[in-house]
Amino acid sequence: MKFKSLALYGAILSGLAVSLPASAQTTAGSMDVQIVITANCTVSSTTSTLDFGSNPSTAADASASNGGFSVTCSNQTPYKIGLKSNSTGAVDDGVGVMASTAPGVTQTIGYQLYQNPGFTTVWGNATTGTANIKTATGTGTAQTYTVYGKTTTTLNVPAATYTDTVAINVYY
Supply the pTM of this predicted model.
0.78
Average pLDDT estimate for 101-118: 95
- With CA atoms as reference, report the closest residue to 44 among 15, 18, 65, 73: 73
Question: Where do the domains of the chain lie, and which CATH numbers do they carry?
Answer: 44-171 (2.60.40.1090)
- Is residue 21 over pLDDT 70? no
State the Cα torsion 153-157-162-166 to the nearest 10°.
-10
DSSP output for the chain:
-HHHHHHHHHHHHHHHHHHSPPPPP-----------PPP-EEEPPPSB--------TT-S--EEEEEEEEEEE-TT-EEEEEEEE-STT--TTSEEEEEE-STT---EEEEEEESSTTS-SB-----SSSTTSEEEE--SSEEEEEEEEEE-S---S-SS-EE--EEEEEE-
Average pLDDT estimate for 8-15: 52
The percentage of residues in the chain with a pLDDT greater than 90, rounded to a whole number, is: 70
pLDDT tens sequence across 114-139? 999 999 999 999 877 667 999 999 99
How many CB atoms neighbour CB 110 within 10 A? 16
**Position 66 confidence tier, pLDDT thresholds 50, 70, 90:** confident
CA atoms within 13 A on the CB side of 88: 3
Higher pLDDT, 57 or 107: 107
Higher pLDDT, 65 or 79: 79
Average pLDDT estimate for 141-152: 96
Higher pLDDT, 93 or 129: 93
Least confident of 2-6, 72-76, 97-101, 133-137: 2-6
Whether the CB-CB separation of 102 and 161 falls below 8 Å is answered with: yes
